[in-house]
């Protein structure tokens, strides 16, 4: 297998030098294991956390270890009766062209019609589930309420906005650049804003005349600063991610604003609730699969993939995703 390993822990933005490409022989699959060819590798913002040894909810990738990641793969050889050569599976093969994985951790995929199998990494997979569970469980949008989400053209944000509309709420999407804003309008967001526009704060005020009832937090940073004063009493903030700060090496400069933040949470009776999607998986996966498959099939939820060819482009694509160079769910096509 050809694989990308972590050569050093990135300081700030990851560089090519933080990674190394190696070619090694994999062991034959033992009982309960299968040898897989990677077709698609998912790139996700959480991987930046795995590259760091700061305290986290999951162990870091060791130096010299293959970078982790969800994969859609084809079975080459299975040492377990439940899978046969040629089967397509969702697994966690990481940044490599082949992997040996335990069959009990694989989910067999049954590609249907025109929906590509790579969606198991996006709208029909972990990011879609994150949007569904975080928005409905914590955000609880009600008809005519205003839901705001940033990174809104990405797999999590685009699903948040579209599910909000299905539930009868107004969806306001925030993204970087005019092309992404135009795409949000196509998706049916009620308003779409560019967080890089010089008058972004005024645009947000104009787009949320009745305030904000649900802010699905994906980014933090300047977007959060603009949102906070517009939150309504009893607003809900599912705290999903803070991607604006994933490459940060220190706290932002300036006065300590935590007192003002806590005061706002208190005065407005806000619910700010962090979550890691895995906590909802045991109880909500079935409902997600049922609802999201139906919404995608009916066209009520549409999705956009940003497919990059070749594992050798993974580092570059990963760096770009944290900056917003991607346009849709980033998937590396490792082989056909
Ligand atoms: P995306 O594909 O949306 O990629 C990240 C996007 O963040 C970029 O494309 C960019 O979009 C935006 N961004 C980066 N920097 C900034 C900034 N300074 N201000 C505003 N936007 C910025 O990623 P995902 O949809 O996969 O993930 C979205 C969020 O959800 C991430 O924070 C991720 O960590 C989190 N997440 C959390 C999970 C959980 O269990 N809690 C599970 C899965 C994801 P643009 O060009 O529009 O600015």
Could you report the predicted ipTM of this complex, rounded to two decimals? Answer: 0.99
pLDDT(183) > 80: yes
Q: What is the predicted pLDDT for the residue at 112?
A: 76
Question: How does pLDDT run across 115-153, given as a tens digit for each residue?
Answer: 999 999 999 999 999 999 999 999 999 999 999 999 999
Taking the CA of residue 56 as centre, how many other CA atoms within 13 Å lie in the half-sphere pointing to its CB?
A: 15
Residue nearest to atom 3 of ligand 1 (CA): 154
Instruction: Return the CA Rg of the chain.
Output: 20
Q: What are phi and psi of 189, to 5 degrees?
A: -60, 145
Question: How does pLDDT run across 61-105, given as a tens digit for each residue?
Answer: 999 999 999 999 999 999 999 999 999 999 999 999 999 999 999
| Ligand 1 in reach of 155 Cβ (< 6 A) | yes
d(CA 247, ligand 1 centre) in Å: 12
CB 39 within 8 A of CB 87: no
Domain range 2-122+304-333, CATH architecture: Alpha-Beta Complex (3.90)
Residue from 45, 240, 329 to probe ligand 1 pocket by mutation (most atoms less than 8 Å from CB): 45
Residue 113 confidence class, pLDDT cut points 50, 70, 90:
confident
CB 152 within 8 A of CB 184: yes
Start-to-end CA span in the chain (Å): 16
Question: How does pLDDT run across 298-335, given as a tens digit for each residue?
Answer: 999 999 999 999 999 999 999 999 999 999 999 999 99
Q: What is the DSSP letter of 325?
A: -
| Ligand 1 in reach of 138 Cβ (< 6 A) | no
pLDDT(290) > 90: yes
* Domain locations along the chain: 2-122+304-333, 126-278
CATH homologous superfamily for the domain 126-278: NAD(P)-binding Rossmann-like Domain (3.40.50.720)
- Mean pLDDT, the chain, as a whole number? 97
Q: What is the predicted pLDDT for the residue at 109?
A: 96
Sequence-distant (≥ 6) Cβ neighbours of residue 265 within 8 angstroms: 272
| Ligand 1 in reach of 46 Cβ (< 6 A) | yes
Atom of ligand 1 nearest to the CA of 180: 47
| Ligand 1 in reach of 156 Cβ (< 6 A) | yes
């Amino acid at each position: 297998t050809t694989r990308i390993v972590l050569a050093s822990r990135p300081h700030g933005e990851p560089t090519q030098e933080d990674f190394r490409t190696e070619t090694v022989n994999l062991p034959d699959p033992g009982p309960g294991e299968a040898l897989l060819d990677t077709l698609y590798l998912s790139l996700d913002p959480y991987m930046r956390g795995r590259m760091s040894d700061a305290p986290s909810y999951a162990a870091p990738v060791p130096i010299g270890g293959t970078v982790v990641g969800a994969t859609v793969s084809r079975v080459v050889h299975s040492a377990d009766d439940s899978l046969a050569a040629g089967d397509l599976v969702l697994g966690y093969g990481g940044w490599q062209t082949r992997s040996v994985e335990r069959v009990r951790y694989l989910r067999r995929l049954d590609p249907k019609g025109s929906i590509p199998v790579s969606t198991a990494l996006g709208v029909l997979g972990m990011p879609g589930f994150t949007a569904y569970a975080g928005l409905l469980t914590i955000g609880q949008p009600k008809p005519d309420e205003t839901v705001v989400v940033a990174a809104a053209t990405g797999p999590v944000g685009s699903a948040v906005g579209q599910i909000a509309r299905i539930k009868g709420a107004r969806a306001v999407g925030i993204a970087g650049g005019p092309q992404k804003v135009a795409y949000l309008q196509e998706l049916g967001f009620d308003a779409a804003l560019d967080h890089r526009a010089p008058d972004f704060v005024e645009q947000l005020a104009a787009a949320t005349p009745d305030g904000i009832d649900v802010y699905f937090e994906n980014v933090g940073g300047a977007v959060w600063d603009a949102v906070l004063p517009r939150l309504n009493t009893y607003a809900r903030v599912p705290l999903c991610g803070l991607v604006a700060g994933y490459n940060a090496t220190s706290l932002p400069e300036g006065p300590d604003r935590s007192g003002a933040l806590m005061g706002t949470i208190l005065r407005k009776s806000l619910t700010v609730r962090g979550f890691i999607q895995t906590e909802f998986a045991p109880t909500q996966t079935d409902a997600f699969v049922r609802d999201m498959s139906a919404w995608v099939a009916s066209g009520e939820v549409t999705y956009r993939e940003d497919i990059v060819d070749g594992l050798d482009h993974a580092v570059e694509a990963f760096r770009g995703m944290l900056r917003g160079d991607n346009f849709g769910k980033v998937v590396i096509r490792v082989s056909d």
